Structure 1
């Protein structure tokens, strides 16, 4: 791989798509502005811009080359200003392969290389190379020198034992989709899309449709609403299955290797030394069913992984399977503590007070504008506000075990976080006046997260003696 190579010609298409996406808002705005009288001229301008964008994409592709020489990945790019980027093998933290629909049709992949200093974007990205070449490139960049050759059939069995693997079953994947809670996100996206599409619907058609809906009986409207919600729920299940289909996690000597996706196939590498904490999340829907999601907080990296600042180690499993999973893939984090030191009872009122304001605002708004339906937010206030506050207080707690700290807290989902003393970057203790009167305090632990930014975990309203215990534990140095 010492000779300079260009990306696959399909990279021209991806460059063109990226360029058009950057100007998409301006294109939509121009269409809305000139759609009536000057639509013909707008189309001509748009066609001219498309030709220019295509030429630019071809030039960018032609001027981009990459090669491996002297234990470095060397990339040269730039149209008018020639840029050279050298990335040493020793600095590379992870190499991820992503194959979208177009990639898979052409047997291509996208290679993303991340280092310890990676920011919002990957350190280097090869948008389109042959799949075999991408895998060979990853293998070459991961190598740290020649390894002794051993001609022994027993090495295969030994390698298999050193590289345990786990794959999600379709039944579990279906349960993950049905309990994902993504229907709310889909409804928000659908409402946003409808608000934008509404202006393109003919006014006469829109008014007649709304009059028809208003003229329907309450029963028919209720049935239609249920059908729409059912359809959105099915979309949520399909989205989860497409995203996490064929999910497989494998542990190698120094890293975890994850593959997932039916349409867009991703291969993600997580170096073990970059794992700052391991978490177990139990959503308010999955917790009664006994299912959890296992995730990890990774230091550095970029937002290109698309996992919302955390990496999913396994999308769904039974709660009693977590310890075996951790013992197999992350043995340092095994031995999950279930009985944690609880929060003091006198802290419960603070949790209830924090949970009720959104429901009180809803109650006031409904009381002013729709007073006949005031009973709905009132029920939500009692069941939601008071119940959620009680749950947050009941689930909060911590446990110290040598140099390992386990904390548990709840927003909507219950989260259990396991971290080691050496990974914690900062400890903070806070008290407001009401907490001082009740002899309570709030603690916060900070670790290094995605893009090198801090990730904070907070336990509110601990007894002051408990916060002092945590402070002494954190401040201790051998």
Structure 2
């Protein structure tokens, strides 16, 4: 069928997005000019900034006017460029995913950003329509995916009935729990410490010394109370961040695609073709594992930096471990099997896991004990914690092999279970250093294609030598 549509421009709000973009790109020049002229010649600085803003505004309007798109002869045709006219033709057959994203400004004007990706999109989307009406974005997505419009109308009319396709939506209770048990508090604490350390150079010495004297003069109880207050604030911010990111999270399977919608402030609609899924993972953090909750995610081949912050795509932020098999059975049945027993690491591997985990903590503890002897209790806590983490890593390690797929399990801080099919593995290798060879152990490493076309690597250390050979033979199709 030959599809044609008239040449169209983006919504005028795209002028705003263009303007903000060029302002951001020119921010270094503006700051440099301010620093140069802040003491004198401020009139020239204001005049220069005014002229620059006028030029940038004119450029934004011209960029919007010269940017057009249309669907013609089974292609999406995009033309842009003010002085040099550029044309980009994207065959509909090459399109892998079409994502709709709506930031705060988009939602005010009922607009969306349309991101179109092909298998070779690289670090950026193949085409990105910054601002189109929501109805136009949905129409364009439907047209490019060759969907029957009449069927869509019928589905909309029957929304009150049971969905025709598997559908999951996160509840407020689960969303709150996801935020409460997320690891974002550690990330924010690290940024806070870095920020405080950098802030020190901007604080007057007298004020800084007085503040430190006041803190040192406080009792241990008050200091502990302030630390708990800071942690509580970071915890609340972590909950808020998770709820903003994953608010209204829904996932639906439609034929050969998964559709994910999420976000409160910035609403994202992601399309995941099933044939681009390279592996499915189950993550159990140290906090969530005792509670019996996990995160389910997928490794997707290709993609672009425009996708967002994640190098793995979350299929569901949080669910009970016993719910995973049913969830995958409906959405990705080939990845649903959850084995009861894994082939575990041999007992002789335990000492290596303990050694690798303990040594860094011993070194850190020694530094603390030497420079801050009053905190000599900290190395003891670090030692106990590292011993326990080493045991957790040893207990987690293992694999399950059946026919054409492999399930591996390992732990960093979080326990990870990855389901990978033979035809998705790009490389497989086993290595042995001298001590491992003496102990008849080996390290297994396999790689798949991840986002941005980069490899994703998975390693299990200190497998039994027999098991490592068995896995290598399986990958090589050897008897």
| TM-score interval, smaller chain | over 0.9
TM-score (norm 2): 0.92
Does the aligned pair in 2 maintain the 1:162–1:253 contact within 8 Å? no
1:342 CA displacement: 0.1
Q: How far apart, CA to CA, are the structure 2 residues paired with 1:310 and 1:150?
A: 30
Structure 1 unaligned regions, length at least 5: none
Mapped to 1, the partners of 2:194 and 2:373 lie a distance apart of 28
Task: Report the Cα distance in structure 2 between the residues aligned to 1:130 and 1:185, rounded to whole angstroms.
Answer: 36
> Residue 455 in 1 paired to residue 456 in 2?
yes
Q: Answer whether contact 2:298 2:312 (CA < 8 A) is retained.
A: yes
Kindly report which structure 2 residues correspond to 1:435-454, keeping only aligned pairs within 5 A, or say none.
Answer: 435-454=436-455
Aligned equivalent of 1:19, options 22, 29, 52:
22
RMSD of aligned residue pairs (Cα, Å)? 2.6
Is 1:336 aligned to residue 338 of structure 2?
yes
- Cα 1:92–1:281 change in 2 (3 A) is same
Name segments (4+ residues, structure 1) moved above 6 Å: 146-153
Q: CA deviation at 1:188?
A: 2.6
- Would you say 1:259 and 2:261 are equivalent positions? yes
Structure 2 equivalent of residue 140 of structure 1: 143
What secondary structure is seen at the aligned counterpart in 2 of 1:270?
Answer: strand
What is the Cα deviation at residue 305 of structure 1? 1.8
Q: Which deviations, in whole Å up to 9, do the C-alpha atoms of 1:61-111 show, x marking residues without a partner?
A: 111111100110000011221110000110000000000000000111000
Structure 1 equivalent of residue 220 of structure 2: 218
1:292 Cα offset (Å): 0.1
Structure 2 Cα separation of the partners of residues 338 and 223 of structure 1:
45
1:3 aligns with 2:6: yes
Question: Cα–Cα, structure 1 residues 23 and 147, in superposed 2: closer, same or farther, change >3 Å?
Answer: closer
CA spacing shift, 1:291–1:352, aligned 2, 3 Å: same
Of 228, 238, 251, 1:249 maps to 251
> After superposition, what is the alpha-carbon deviation per residue over 1:106-132, rounded to whole angstroms, capped at 9, x for unaligned?
111000000011111111101111111
The corresponding residue for 2:129 is 126
In structure 2, the partner of 1:402 is 403
CA distance in 2: counterparts of 1:364 and 1:33, whole angstroms: 48
Alpha-carbon shift at residue 324 of structure 1 (Å): 0.5
Aligned partners of 1:348, 1:48: CA distance in 2, in Å?
68
TM superposition shift of 1:26: 4.8
Distance change >3 Å, CA 435–CA 41, structure 1 → 2: farther
Output the CA distance in 2 between the equivalents of 1:308 and 1:71. Answer: 32
Shift of 1:44: 4.1
User: What's the counterpart of residue 310 of structure 1?
Assistant: 312
Q: Deviation per CA, 1:139-166, whole angstroms, max 9, x where unpaired?
A: 000007x79989999x969x96641101
2:271 paired residue among 246, 269, 272: 269
> CA, structure 1 residues 101+198, in 2 after alignment: closer, same or farther (shift >3 Å)?
farther
Q: Which residue of 2 aligns with 1:62?
A: 65
CA distance in 1, matches of 2:197, 2:24: 21
**How big is the shift at 1:397?**
0.3
* Cα separation, 2, equivalents of 1:350 and 1:22: 50
Report how far residue 280 of structure 1 moved: 0.2
Match of 1:169 among 150, 168, 171: 171
- Helix, strand or coil for the counterpart of 1:13? helix
Map 1:99-118 onto structure 2 (within 5 A).
99-118=102-121
TM-score (norm 1): 0.93
Q: Please, which of 229, 234, 237 is the counterpart of residue 235 of structure 1?
A: 237
Written as runs of structure 1 = structure 2, the 5 A alignment for 1:20-99 is 20-28=23-31, 31=34, 35-36=38-39, 41-99=44-102
Is the contact made by 1:256 and 1:271 (CA closer than 8 Å) also made in structure 2?
yes
**The one of 326, 329, 343 aligned to 2:328:** 326
Per-residue CA deviation, residues 11-44 of structure 1 (Å, 9 max, x unaligned), is 1111122222223345445545655556665444
In the alignment, structure 2 segments of 5+ residues that lack a partner are none
Q: 1:115, 1:123 within 8 Å by CA — same for their partners in 2?
A: yes
CA distance in 2, matches of 1:149, 1:240: 35
Displacement of 1:452 after TM fit?
1.4
Contact 1:120 1:451 in 2 (8 A): yes
How many residue pairs end up in the alignment? Answer: 474
CA separation in 2, counterparts of 1:43 and 1:15?
22
Distance 1:250 1:76 in 2: 33
Measured at CA, do residues 71 and 184 of structure 1 come closer, stay the same or move farther in structure 2, by a change above 3 Å? same
